[in-house]
Structure 1
């Protein structure tokens, strides 16, 4: 199944523009959230280039941010760029477990690959297993107790779209038997061998 950022943009904007005055936009060198202002009438979740995973990740952050935070650039959060030391990385992992758990749920809803992001290639040497486990546990907890309402809404939109897309793709893989024996079974449509 092909995962296109353009589909995410369409799904997000269809789901949230009217209710939250927020749009998803790709094409940036670095992701950022920008609230509506005098120049732009919509809040904008801007993700990196056309990266599918970046779009899911940035939407996950938006789903957690409360109404007051959504009035601030990047929700008013700190961000220490790549090159963090061990203490800064530990803080990054503490605050990133929840959004990455939601991103994982989004990925599962659309059958896309997911992997945690430590986002610190030039920083302290890190064993990712601890963070992966933290994200896994957070995902399990949210799955059991419920995701934030906007995340639930986007998960439902993703599932609906990608299940329909998957069914459509499976339908295209059906082939009609047109050989001389087709009259024997009424020209039945057969699934290709798996």
Structure 2
């Protein structure tokens, strides 16, 4: 199945641009969320290097952010770049559980393989098993209790576009085959 970034940009625009004045933008560098300002009338979700997974991940952060956070650059989140200590990595993983769980759901809705990202290529080595279990539990929670409104709308749009079964079901997730990658 072809996963073209221009399709994802158009799908996001068709689903959210008018209602939320938000667009998805292919970036050249690190991802960032930029709220509208005097030079840009639209909020911008900028994803890294044209990577499909980066776009899904940044959309997941946007789906979690409430109205006040969507007025702040990068939603006002704390971020410590690659090269984190074990303590910093654990703090990073705690705030990444929900976005990575949503990214996983978006990936399934696209019929695309999901890789859990530790995002700490040059940092201190840590045991990622607790992080993996936390993300798995969060996905199961969403499947049983529901996704947020924006996440659910995007999942429905992705499933329709990519011909995947909707609504998502636990059987579509392979909890034994989640790889944790450093980037």
TM-score norm. by structure 2 comes to 0.88
Q: Aligned partners of 2:128, 2:26: CA distance in 1, in Å?
A: 28
- Spell out the pairing of 1:21-170 with structure 2 (5 A cutoff): 21-163=21-163
> Which protein is bigger by CA-based radius of gyration?
1
**Which structure shows the bigger proportion of residues in helix conformation?**
1
Q: Aligned partners of 2:115, 2:134: CA distance in 1, in Å?
A: 13
Shift of 1:28: 2.6
Residue 116 of structure 1 aligns to a residue in which SS?
strand
**Aligned pairs, number:** 164
Q: Aligned partners of 2:112, 2:96: CA distance in 1, in Å?
A: 20
Question: Could you tell me which residue of structure 1 aligns to residue 171 of structure 2?
Answer: none
Residue 134 of structure 1 aligns to a residue in which SS?
helix
Residue 80 of structure 1 aligns to a residue in which SS?
coil
Higher normalized contact order (CA 8 Å, seq sep 6+, divided by chain length): 2
Q: Aligned partners of 2:28, 2:147: CA distance in 1, in Å?
A: 28
Query: Aligned-pair RMSD on alpha carbons?
Result: 0.9
Residue 46 of structure 1 aligns to a residue in which SS?
strand
Question: Could you tell me which residue of structure 2 aligns to residue 19 of structure 1?
Answer: 19
1:65-103 superposed Cα distances (whole Å, 9 cap, x missing partner): 000000000001111000111111111111100000000
Shift of 1:126: 1.5
| Structure 2 residue ranges without an equivalent (≥5) | 165-183
| Structure 1 residue ranges without an equivalent (≥5) | 165-194
Question: Could you tell me which residue of structure 2 aligns to residue 5 of structure 1?
Answer: 5
Q: Aligned partners of 1:75, 1:91: CA distance in 2, in Å?
A: 17
Q: Aligned partners of 1:128, 1:94: CA distance in 2, in Å?
A: 12
Shift of 1:128: 2.1
Shift of 1:136: 0.6
Q: Aligned partners of 1:8, 1:45: CA distance in 2, in Å?
A: 12
